[in-house]
Amino acid sequence: MSIAVIKLVGVKAEDVDSVARQIKSIVQAANIKCKGPIPIPTKIISHTTRKAPAHQGSHTYERWEMRFHKRLLKIDGSEQALRQIMRIPVPNAVQIEIGLS
């Protein structure tokens, strides 16, 4: 029996968690072993820019930040459960990667 590894990545933590809950409920209804959702450390991208053009005005800066929230689920491979997981409505802000091992 193979193991399916599902990785969820998104900008909004609420969206990622809701998709993970939907996957977890499908797996529990099918009586399949599941580990997760395991939170993976959040990747933070930050960028600092100057508000005024060069050598003009005061020295003020804007700080921009984007966070990527990640979750990992490991499921004992069941073809029927994976088909149901593929049909879950996923928000545009969430990316899903499914790998079989």
Average pLDDT (18-32) is 91
Cβ(11)–Cβ(69) below 8 Å: yes
**What is the maximum span of the chain, computed from C-alpha positions, in angstroms?**
66
The pTM assigned to this predicted structure is 0.82
pLDDT tens digits, one per residue of 78-92: 788 888 888 989 999
In the chain, the number of structural domains is: 1
pLDDT tens digits, one per residue of 34-78: 898 999 999 999 999 888 877 777 788 899 999 999 999 999 877
**For helices 79-86 and 13-29, what crossing angle results, to 10°?**
150
What pLDDT is recorded for position 10? 95
The CATH number for 18's domain is 3.30.70.600
Q: Residue 10's domain spans which residues? A: 3-100
What pLDDT is recorded for position 55? 74
Evaluate the CA torsion angle 69, 73, 78, 84 in order and state its sign: negative
